Amino acid sequence: MNKKPDEARDNKKNEEPVEEDLVSDLSDDIEQEPSEPMSDLEKARTEAKEYLDNLQRLQAEFENFRKRMIREQSEYLKMASQDLVSKLLPVLDNFERAIHHREDDVSEDYHAGIELLYNQICDVLGKEGLSVIDPLGKEFDPKKHEAMMQVESDEHDENTVVEVLDNGYEFKGKVIRPAKVKVVR
């Protein structure tokens, strides 16, 4: 059990490098440990940023989809009511003909009733967006008028509408039936 002083010195020399190796290994581990969590933190931040970008993109796409659906529904309803109004135009024409073609043997109350019905229908359709195109005395516009005849006239300028044969109609600003007119050559 007695150790020689030389052996003890040798053992201390052998132990020191082992301690130094342990210290350097520990310092290497300490240096590496923070870098690993930092890289994990950076990965998590990058992943979170990607998720946020994806979420924002999806929110924008959903908002665009919602707006498009509202617009399409509005257009569909507009087109559906336009179709109904277009089908009622011949009824309006017949009411106008009945009002203008009075017979003497029919009572005045009958004519007043027809005019009342015509005015009610015009009011309802007007509230929905129907308006009469009034081209009389205006320049011919092929987008709103359909020339049925051309006539000579010294009283009016060339290309002026002088008579309306059938009313034209616009529905919410869109021509659904052009006015049939006589135009000066």
Question: What CATH code is carried by the domain that includes residue 179?
Answer: 2.30.22.10
1 domain residue, yes or no: no
State the CB neighbour count (10 A cutoff) for residue 65: 10
Establish if 152 belongs to a structural domain.
Answer: yes
- The token duo for 3 is 């150790």
Name the DSSP class of 143. Answer: T
Tokens of 37: 């969590």
What is the pLDDT at residue 11? 52
Amino acid at 94: N
- Grouping H, G, I as helix, E, B as strand and the rest as coil, residue 149 is strand
pLDDT score at 107: 86
pTM here? Answer: 0.60
Q: Which residues of the chain have pLDDT under 50?
A: none
Q: Which residues constitute the domain of residue 176?
A: 131-185
Q: What is the pLDDT of residue 55?
A: 96
Closest C-alpha to 166, from 150, 155, 151, 182? 182
CB-CB neighbours of 8 under 10 Å = 10
CB 136 within 8 A of CB 163: yes
pLDDT for residue 176? 94
**Can you tell me the distance from the alpha carbon of 56 to that of 93, in angstroms, rounded to the nearest whole number?**
55
Residue with tokens 């106008």: 96
155 domain residue, yes or no: yes
The predicted pLDDT at position 80 comes to 82
Say if 162 falls within a structural domain: yes
- Residue 105 resides in a domain: no
Residue 71's pLDDT is what? 94
Helical spans, DSSP H, in the chain: 5-100, 108-128
In a domain, 107, yes or no: no
Q: Is residue 174 part of a domain?
A: yes
Total domains in the fold of the chain: 1
